[in-house]
Amino acid sequence: MTGDRSPPMDPSADDERGAAAPRSGAVRPALSGLAVAFTAYLAVGAMVWTGPIAYPIVQIIAVAFFLVTTWVCIFWNARGARTRDPVRSRLGERTVLPHWAIVLALLVAAIVPSARWVAAGPDAREADYATWSLGAVGALMAIVMVRRRPWTAWAGVGLAAVAAMAWIGLPSALALGVVGAVLWVGVAQLLSWLVDRAASDTARLTELQRDASQWLASQEGMRRERRTQVQRALAVAGPVLAHTIAVGGHLDDTERRLALIAEGTLRDELRGPALLDDDVRAALSAARARGATVSVLDEGGLDDLAPDERAHLRAELARLIEGARSQRLYIRASTHPDVVVTVVGRSAAEDGEEVVDLWREFPRPRRAPRADATH
């Protein structure tokens, strides 16, 4: 029946979900490996001294602090929470950095630049291994930006810029790394925004495609149901019509009664298909065969019932029709919140007036409220 059939599932949805995991698994390690390689390259450059250095141990500690903090920001909870959105999963979405990691990143931005200039000494403050800290802080804050902490990233760049201006002056700070750090963080923020926008647009397109697939599947189900109804109608009315044509419309009483039963059966199939199964059809045919007039009407009352609830309702309906002796039967399924099907039987009394001798209301099944509906 129409209500019992569910549209076929879209196989592309399962393929999409299945393909999301491996592709997202390839994106994250590649990005993480690139970030590790770049920060390691910066650290190696900091350890290559082209001139005398005042405090080597301070230099080594500053580089180590930078590397540890950077790699923590790269790898800590990098895979993120599981998401049901395959689009965001494919794009390598990461979770927000925890607060303790933010504190570490800000400490690097506040301490490492000053420590580097202290370690380099007064005569080498503008050397490459001394101003390395500006690029290092810029790279770290770009990672922080990607990990969804924009305010922290800009604050870290500001701390490094203030330290640079205090140690080497504004012109030298701008020329030796502050501008580059600002550009890195700005580009990271722009790329993050573009990726989020692409994820949102792609998710919307995926949703539209899923809706279109479901609509096409439902249309195909409806076409199959219409073909089934046409075949059933031909099976019921075909022999009667063929015989009527053969005899030129001259039917006896028995043939007329059979034609009326066939006409009523066709009307049931058109006006109340959700109420019908083999038992109900047999009961309706038996009621018409004994001379009763039967009217079946479905106004969508069974659309929200589960298959087992429909089967139970039809079984009770078939038993009720088999036991009914009314001359007229009215069977109606409505969208009433409390009653799903109403059966009314009327018969002629001794004085010729019609009286109601059958009234049965089938209550709509009650469902327990969903647990998430209370929140």
Maximum average pLDDT range among 76-90, 213-227, 230-244, 275-289: 275-289
* 103 and 184 assigned to the same domain: yes
Task: Tell which of 210, 225, 259 closes a domain.
Answer: 210
Taking each helix axis as running N to C, give the angle between helix 56-75 and helix 128-146, from 0 to 180 degrees, rounded to the nearest 10: 20
Q: How many whole angstroms separate alpha carbon 18 and alpha carbon 15?
A: 5
Q: Domain for residue 132, yes or no? A: yes
Q: Which of 285, 362, 291 is nearest to 325 (CA)?
A: 291
Q: Domain for residue 311, yes or no? A: yes
DSSP element (H, E) containing 297:
strand 293-298
* 205 and 276 assigned to the same domain: no
Residues 6+ apart with CB under 8 A from 319: 283
Task: Tell which of 161, 184, 210 closes a domain.
Answer: 210
**pLDDT tens digits along 111-140:** 888 787 777 666 655 665 556 778 888 888
Q: How many whole angstroms separate alpha carbon 236 and alpha carbon 351?
A: 38
* 63 and 200 assigned to the same domain: yes
Residues 205, 144, 75, 68: what is their CA dihedral angle, to the nearest 10 degrees? 170
* 205 and 308 assigned to the same domain: no
* 164 and 309 assigned to the same domain: no
Q: Domain for residue 370, yes or no? A: no
Order of strands, sheet of 293-298, starting from the edge strand that comes earlier in the sequence: 293-298, 328-333, 339-348, 354-363
Burial class (CB in 10 A: 0-12, 13-18, 19+), 104: buried
pTM across the whole model: 0.51
* 206 and 93 assigned to the same domain: yes
Q: Is the pLDDT of residue 319 over 90?
A: yes
Q: Domain for residue 226, yes or no? A: no
Other C-beta atoms lying within 10 Å of the C-beta of residue 345: 23
Q: Domain for residue 39, yes or no? A: yes
How much is the pLDDT for 330?
A: 93
* 31 and 170 assigned to the same domain: yes
Q: How many CA atoms lie within 13 A of 168 on its CB side?
A: 29
* 164 and 300 assigned to the same domain: no
Q: And the tokens for 210?
A: 């899923």
* 85 and 173 assigned to the same domain: yes
**pLDDT tens digits along 335-375:** 888 899 999 999 988 777 888 899 999 998 876 554 444 43
Which range of residues forms the domain containing residue 93? 11-210
Q: How many whole angstroms separate alpha carbon 259 and alpha carbon 126?
A: 105
Q: How many whole angstroms separate alpha carbon 24 and alpha carbon 11?
A: 21
Q: How many whole angstroms separate alpha carbon 30 and alpha carbon 27?
A: 5
Count the domains in the chain. 2
* 31 and 169 assigned to the same domain: yes
Taking residues 77-92, report their average pLDDT. 50
